[in-house]
Amino acid sequence: MDRTKVKPRKTRSLRLARMNLPGHLLMLVWAVVVLLPVYLLVVNALKTRMGMYADPFALPLPLVWDNFRAIINQGNFFMYFANSLMVVVVSLGAILMLGSLAGYGLAHWRGKLARGLYFFFMIGMMLPIKIATIRLMELMKLLGLFNQLWSIILVYIAMGLPIAVFVLTEFIRGLPGDLYEAAHIDGARRSKIYYSIVLPLIKPALATVGIYNLVPIWNDLWFPLIFITQEDKKTVLLAVTRLQGQYTTDWPKVFALLTLSALPVILLYLSMSRQFVAGLTAGAVKG
């Protein structure tokens, strides 16, 4: 074997490693910044209150599960969890269905009205919906939806539709036109093309939109705090306010509740991570 051919490969790999070293260091620092709050959340949920105040960074030895037992047995956790789950499932289902239908229509509809509608959705991405909180509260009272889960569901649908329409419209526009021509030749209607061809091909984009909207909907405290006052209608994060007293707060129980509330988001992301990454990178490389 010729050694002169091996040396250039080794030097090239070392050179690439040196070039990528700043990037790897930056990613390592970013990983520490992201994982440190998660570490503090979990370890302090497994401590007593005095153990947390003594050293919040230390490992919980021995493990204390009383906080999780108290949250599950005494705090109506499953009721709050069911409310949050219903809000997320209905909101995401409506966002994905309406966003995909709107994206399918806007991707093939040419004209000034189509561009106007598309621009209307883009304005929704630029304006935060929280600036209309007072008007929304008046509207919910007028519609009789105050203290109902539908009040926040409708707000979340309106909040998630702009980004859904933007992502799905651009994704559908990138689909090959030959698929539509072949379907039209076979006599398929637009509805059949949408369900049989478009939906299976835009699964990565749907996963991206779903995860992108899942986190702010599940973690939102603003609108439930304003629209919901009945105990049986509260969401998981809204239940955190019940653990905060005027003079003292049982922080280990708060951390235990936040840990339990974060599990569905983490599990859903892990199950859809491939589709999520595929949707983010779709169209970045051609060939």
For the chain, which domains are there?
Answer: 3-54 (no CATH), 76-281 (1.10.3720.10)
Q: For 244, phi and psi rounded to 5 degrees?
A: -100, 115
- Please indicate whether residue 23 or residue 281 has the higher confidence score (pLDDT): 23
The pLDDT of residue 6 is: 47
Q: Does residue 258 carry a pLDDT above 80?
A: yes
152, 133 Cβ separation under 8 angstroms: no
Of 10-24, 154-168, 171-185, highest mean pLDDT? 154-168
Tell me what the mean pLDDT of segment 51-77 comes to: 83
- Give residue 1's pLDDT band: very low, low, confident or very high (50, 70, 90): very low
217, 87 Cβ separation under 8 angstroms: yes
The pLDDT of residue 132 is: 86
Tokens of 224: 């439930």
Q: In this predicted model, what pLDDT tens digit does every residue of 261-272 receive, in sequence order?
A: 888 888 877 776
Q: In this predicted model, what pLDDT tens digit does every residue of 130-154 receive, in sequence order?
A: 888 888 988 898 988 888 999 999 9
* The residue count for the chain: 287
The pLDDT of residue 284 is: 43
Pairwise CA distance, residues 268 & 162, whole Å = 22
**What average pLDDT does the chain have?**
82
- Give residue 285's pLDDT band: very low, low, confident or very high (50, 70, 90): very low
206, 100 Cβ separation under 8 angstroms: yes
DSSP annotation of 286 reads -
43, 52 Cβ separation under 8 angstroms: no
The pLDDT of residue 126 is: 84
- Give residue 89's pLDDT band: very low, low, confident or very high (50, 70, 90): very high
DSSP annotation of 175 reads S
146, 140 Cβ separation under 8 angstroms: yes
- Please indicate whether residue 86 or residue 78 has the higher confidence score (pLDDT): 86
- Give residue 17's pLDDT band: very low, low, confident or very high (50, 70, 90): low
Q: pTM for the full model?
A: 0.81
- Among 161, 263, 267, 137, smallest CA distance to 212 is for 161
